[in-house]
Structure 1
């Protein structure tokens, strides 16, 4: 039973829980940390971070490869049993503490302060290479305004004598030209996401869109062994991508809070426009039926469930630190559970909705070219930088559709960059408040310049190989391991019951029982299965057309291990610096420090003795809780 004083601190503030409520001040009473000006800005930021390019270019392809509509069963199964609990945990942690991802772990469990460094390193690495995708989008967007769109014909300087305008022209070729030669190469060795293994190196014809991507945008070398020359058109666009990032984040959450109205809402408007247009095209119905067709026999394969779990996990982005960082600026009495449901459902439903858009267009392409849906279904950059530009050229007013499409990609991509970049910058500010708190603009500018310079290798002829290698390794095993560790720390070391009481202080209600069961048992078990499932498939992102050299795997493993290293290092250093017997050091360093407590009043931590009021975590206590 909670005492009356505790309950009085936990009463809900209905006005602040309203999604559309205004806030006339920039700070909550009793706290120094900035807060979102409006609740809707916070929600839009969560949605913008969760819904990224992967929702457009990976989810629909996974549905096709894994049983069509049947893939939705494991997808939403893992979304609710793994995605929602992790999402809820992180935004509660950030909102309660008012701390960024880098410093919150050193406060709640000093022994595991390395988890914070894992998060900031991951966000830093992904921010570093993710802007290359924005670079490509900017380059395409600029060319969409050209009077003669360069991927519309085969008369450009970079075109070969094997160029055809579109896949429909395959019907004009000799019968000896195989379908795979015209379609399989589209994604081929460009994307790490296509693992069909059905590609061929015996190429005869390439589409104009493919040659623009390969020979103009990338000017791709033969492999990572040959980086080649700096591509100055990419350097300029990369600079533009970082300049855009800086301008959007120049005032932290205040500028982001205004930008998200455009970058989050506009993509849905444009997706709807594309869907309406796509449904009017010949073959669109066949494409959508192909997308929804359910092959329930595929659910008997472990690989299908593994890919569904991985898609949910990497799409939502837990363990990257961004959710903790964004929620640390949230009002103290926000309804965390509703916020988590908004973010996770927006991600899952956006993926499903985007599938209709993608496959209405792919159905039109298949109908126009006389190909099957399997032959035009793709994932990764090949979909948005080759297949879609080719389809756009067949629509009336291709300039209009081209501009709208790449504006949509730009807004979807930049949203995800906000969360990752802010995780790095806010972590540095919280670590050195006396030095950086009043210099956020200078810090944002410095980080943008540094990451721009470090990103120049991506603008070389071999940059695509570096991008693919880092993307493959940096967002793999260490993310799963980091999420597993944060579950263990919150659920078993700090205590799920103790954390539930923290949530009670904010919202007036403890964490639902199902959430605590997931935190303690189900989610960690799922993460372990995903971890070991990925280990069995761990290796370089080789394709049928290109095999990475052995040293590339070494480089990739360094990026995979680097975020994990701070965890054991800081744990060992902390134990060595402690006093008393070794067991006592472990126990002391596993307890929250003096700075831990609710952001609206640190004194509360000293006044409230957790050990005397609630068990940290016992399953019998969890099951017997009457407060749910």
Structure 2
């Protein structure tokens, strides 16, 4: 060894090299154990000091006024009802029951609750913690990993797109609500000016009418054989399809739909008025931010459950209701072998709960720092899932009655999307006693369900702007809300044209198709690995007094991102172009839709390149540094902040990182 002296090798701090070495144990191993023991004692002392500091600060509940300068929820229940209202929307009524029926009935609940437990709740909880800990909107919360600063802009853009087109659901509901006060209901008869000769009031006569039309040719005739109204046409009868009065009201009165995407036609003023009414309603509810929303949600979040229960009781008293519910619930376990069933269950969970849009982060940023996020996440997620399941009983009890009355199979009267809520169910209402009363209650329920979801997306945009320009907009919340409402009203006018439904369907198909799954995947990677699930668990412990459960850590780090990646890949591989009522969109429209799906993603790589270019040093060091939180990241409560910044430990690597993130660091 060239005279190298071994005793110098073992002269570690705290080891003299002359200590007595027990038999069978090397001096090197002994000194390492001694050094490791001392380091462990120091870590334990630091941890005790940190925990004692946390306990002292948690006993001191007096926060500084500037800690909540953005505002806060008046009561805990305000926030809880807001996230329930945000998650529970019209899709719970017009999409989930149909998916359940089509994908194995009661068996569909197995993949649905699987994705809810292992993806929905962990993502919901993560976003609530991010917002509550940082006290900022989704635009600035990603200071915990500056390399992905663009995610904040992605969320704001997606929320802006959602606010832009989703308002049309409220527009249609408002128009139906106004027409619910007429006697007879305009969608119950075929004697209106917009009805065609092939309108029928009884769905059970559709097949008979088709058979009759196939044996009849009319040329330049004035016919009133089916409706009693005059309608001039020049075509063969087989080019016309009989439709119910409710379907014609939707297509020919509400939408006054054109022939396709290239034929937008003119503005329909009844929809413009309804659009203005919808934005005025949103403005009045949001003009003072969380203070006004906190009062409104007691109505908009709770009323739907009262009305759903009323409709369920009424529906169960109708003949055929039990058959409808059995059709809804009867399990077909063979369908669980179909990958598409699992994919649709997962997508329904992701799009219904609303993670990755920024709404959950924004609303939780107005919480008190010590609020129990885990409880709220479980309640909000389960409320969404159970409302979907409960709503299925309401829908299929009435669809069973419709099938009984029309003597048709239930699958012929069941449909999904607007066709269920705005055609099939209103048609069923016409067969009930006092149909005007039931129509008003039904559309009030849909209005309450829809407007809550609009609150979350709109507030994400407005809060992001306030956080970006606090001096300019901080005290002008009312003015900002009015300006945004006016802007979105103007941008929404194309949806009120004859071809507006084609635009709506295209935007709905593409707007969040790529963003949601991709964003959820990136969130898990950032929080679970780049920032570190163990470190984030300590942040949560600072707020709630206990760390994140191990099962949720496993979801953040492994299970959820893996499922997100599989779902994203499957969605891309199974891509199908949009259609509407058999209409196929031209190539130009599909290209516009693809561009719309890519626009929200653009800020992510753009800001990533800008951040790397502005940093200094070798490229690898730049990227490494940009995965570290900035000085802006941390608890927004001043009494925690100094202690938090002083207690940050170096990032772990390798096996220690994996162990700490999944199971917690050893103390």
After TM superposition, the score normalised by the length of structure 2 is 0.86
Q: 331-340 or 120-129, which moves further after superposition?
A: 331-340
Distance 1:603 1:452, change over 3 A: same
Is 1:7 paired with 2:51? yes
Residue correspondence of structure 1 range 9-408 to structure 2 within 5 A: 9-11=53-55, 30-105=67-142, 107-170=143-206, 173=209, 175=211, 203-408=240-445
* Match in the other structure for 1:481: 518
Q: 562-571 or 602-611, which moves further after superposition?
A: 602-611
Is 1:453 paired with 2:490? yes
2:601 and 2:655 mapped to 1: Cα distance?
27
Is 1:603 paired with 2:603? no
1:376 and 1:12 mapped to 2: Cα distance?
63
Report if the CA contact (8 A) 2:550-2:663 is conserved: no
Is 1:507 paired with 2:544? yes
2:363 and 2:568 mapped to 1: Cα distance?
27
Report if the CA contact (8 A) 1:325-1:426 is conserved: yes
Report if the CA contact (8 A) 2:147-2:611 is conserved: yes
Report if the CA contact (8 A) 2:553-2:662 is conserved: no
* Match in the other structure for 1:19: none
CA apart distance, 1:98: 0.4
Report if the CA contact (8 A) 1:13-1:333 is conserved: no
Q: 592-601 or 414-423, which moves further after superposition?
A: 592-601
Distance 1:26 1:339, change over 3 A: same
From 476, 485, 488, the equivalent of 1:439 is 476
CA apart distance, 1:612: 7.7
1:605 and 1:614 mapped to 2: Cα distance?
21
Which string of whole-angstrom CA distances, capped at 9 and with x for unpartnered residues, describes residues 363-391 of structure 1? 00000000011111110000011101110
* Match in the other structure for 2:527: 490
1:448 and 1:540 mapped to 2: Cα distance?
31
Report if the CA contact (8 A) 2:209-2:242 is conserved: no
Report if the CA contact (8 A) 2:199-2:245 is conserved: yes
Distance 1:302 1:174, change over 3 A: closer
1:616 and 1:202 mapped to 2: Cα distance?
69
1:511 and 1:560 mapped to 2: Cα distance?
34
CA apart distance, 1:165: 1.1
Bigger relative contact order (CA 8 A; separation at least 6): 1
After TM superposition, the score normalised by the length of structure 1 is 0.92
SS in 2 for 1:360: helix
SS in 1 for 2:187: helix
1:617 and 1:153 mapped to 2: Cα distance?
71
Q: 1-10 or 248-257, which moves further after superposition?
A: 1-10
Unaligned runs of 5+ in 2: 1-43, 215-237
Is 1:621 paired with 2:660? yes
Distance 1:32 1:544, change over 3 A: closer
- Which has the greater radius of gyration? 2
Report if the CA contact (8 A) 1:101-1:427 is conserved: yes
1:456 and 1:109 mapped to 2: Cα distance?
39
Which string of whole-angstrom CA distances, capped at 9 and with x for unpartnered residues, describes residues 30-87 of structure 1? 4433211100110000100000111000000001110000000000000000101110
How many residue pairs match? The answer is 598
Unaligned runs of 5+ in 1: 17-22, 179-200
Which string of whole-angstrom CA distances, capped at 9 and with x for unpartnered residues, describes residues 558-609 of structure 1? 1100010000000101111111111111111111111111011233443222
1:313 and 1:376 mapped to 2: Cα distance?
27
CA apart distance, 1:355: 0.3
Residue correspondence of structure 1 range 555-594 to structure 2 within 5 A: 555-594=592-631
Report if the CA contact (8 A) 2:358-2:460 is conserved: yes
1:624 and 1:258 mapped to 2: Cα distance?
41
Is 1:517 paired with 2:561? no
Distance 1:620 1:444, change over 3 A: same
CA apart distance, 1:617: 7.3
Distance 1:39 1:356, change over 3 A: same
